Amino acid sequence: MEGSVDENLLTEVRRAEEEGTLKDRVWTESKKMWIVAGPAIFSRFSTFGVGIITQAFIGHIGPSELAAYALVSTVLLRFANGILLGMASALETLCGQSFGAKRYDMLGVYLQRSWLILSICSIILSPVFIFTTPILKALGQEESIAEVAGTISLWLIPGLFSFMVSYTCQMFLQAQSKNKIIAYLAAFTLVFHVFLSWLLTVKYKFGLSGAMVSTILAFWIPNIGQLVYIFGGWCSETWKGFSMLAFKDLWPIIKLSLSSGVMVCLELWYNTILVLLTGSMRNADIAIDALSICININGWELMISLGFLAAASVRVSNELGRGSSRAAKFSIMQTVLTSFAIRFVLFIIFLFLRGRLAYIFTESTEVAAAVADLSPLLACSILLNSIQPVLSGVAVGAGWQSTVAYVNITCYYLIGIPVGVVLGYVLQFQVKGVWVGMLFGTLTQTIVLIIITYKTDWEKQVLLARQRINKWSVKSEEAEEDEQNA
Residues 306 and 184 in one domain: no
Residues 56 and 150 in one domain: yes
Asked if residue 345 is part of any domain, the answer here is yes
Domain boundary at 213, 239, 259, which? 259
Q: Count of residues for the chain?
A: 486
Residues 149 and 292 in one domain: no
Residues 193 and 288 in one domain: no
Residues 73 and 175 in one domain: yes
Each residue's pLDDT tens digit in the chain (486 positions)? 444 545 555 555 555 554 567 888 888 889 889 988 888 888 888 888 888 888 888 888 887 888 788 778 877 887 888 888 888 888 888 898 999 888 888 899 999 999 999 999 999 999 999 999 998 888 777 788 889 989 999 999 999 999 999 999 999 999 998 888 988 999 999 999 999 999 999 899 898 999 999 999 999 999 999 999 999 989 999 998 888 888 877 777 787 777 777 777 777 677 666 666 655 555 555 666 677 677 777 777 878 888 888 899 999 999 998 888 888 899 999 999 999 999 899 888 888 877 677 776 666 777 778 778 888 888 888 888 888 888 988 988 888 888 888 888 888 888 988 998 898 888 888 778 888 888 898 899 899 999 999 999 999 998 988 887 776 664 545 445 554 554
For the chain, state the CA radius of gyration.
Answer: 23
Asked if residue 248 is part of any domain, the answer here is yes
Domain boundary at 259, 284, 302, which? 259
Domain boundary at 212, 237, 259, which? 259
CB 34 within 8 A of CB 174: no
**pLDDT recorded at residue 16:** 52
pTM: 0.82
Asked if residue 288 is part of any domain, the answer here is yes
Q: For every residue of the chain, which 3-state class applies, written as one string?
A: CHHHHHHHHHHHHHHHHCCCCHHHHHHHHHHHHHHHHHHHHHHHHHHHHHHHHHHHHHHCCCHHHHHHHHHHHHHHHHHHHHHHHHHHCHHHHHHHHHHHCCCCHHHHHHHHHHHHHHHHHHHHHHHHHHCHHHHHHHCCCCHHHHHHHHHHHHHCHHHHHHHHHHHHHHHHHHCCCCCHHHHHHHHHHHHHHHHHHHHHHHHCCCHHHHHHHHHHHHHHHHHHHHHHHHHHHHCCCCCCCCCHHHHCCHHHHHHHHHHHHHHHHHHHCHHHHHHHHHCCCCCHHHHHHHHHHHHHHHHHHHHHHHHHHHHHHHHHHHHHHHCCHHHHHHHHHHHHHHHHHHHHHHHHHHHHHHHHHHHHCCCCHHHHHHHHHHHHHHHHHHHHCCCHHHHHHHHHHHCCHHHHHHHHHHHHHHHHHHHHHHHHHHCCCHHHHHHHHHHHHHHHHHHHHHHHHHHCCHHHHHHHHHHHHHHHHHHHHHHHHHHHHC
CA distance 134 to 123: 19
Residues 51 and 98 in one domain: yes
Residues 243 and 277 in one domain: no
Asked if residue 19 is part of any domain, the answer here is no
Asked if residue 282 is part of any domain, the answer here is yes
Asked if residue 194 is part of any domain, the answer here is yes
Residues 299 and 375 in one domain: yes
Asked if residue 192 is part of any domain, the answer here is yes
Residues 440 and 326 in one domain: yes
Provide the residue range defining the domain that includes 65.
Answer: 46-259
What single string gives the DSSP state of each residue in 61-123? T-HHHHHHHHHIIIIIIHHHHHHHHHHHTHHHHHHHHHHHTT-THHHHHHHHHHHHHHHHHHH
Residues 310 and 171 in one domain: no
Residues 438 and 409 in one domain: yes
Residues 233 and 304 in one domain: no
Asked if residue 32 is part of any domain, the answer here is no
Q: How many domains are there within the chain?
A: 2
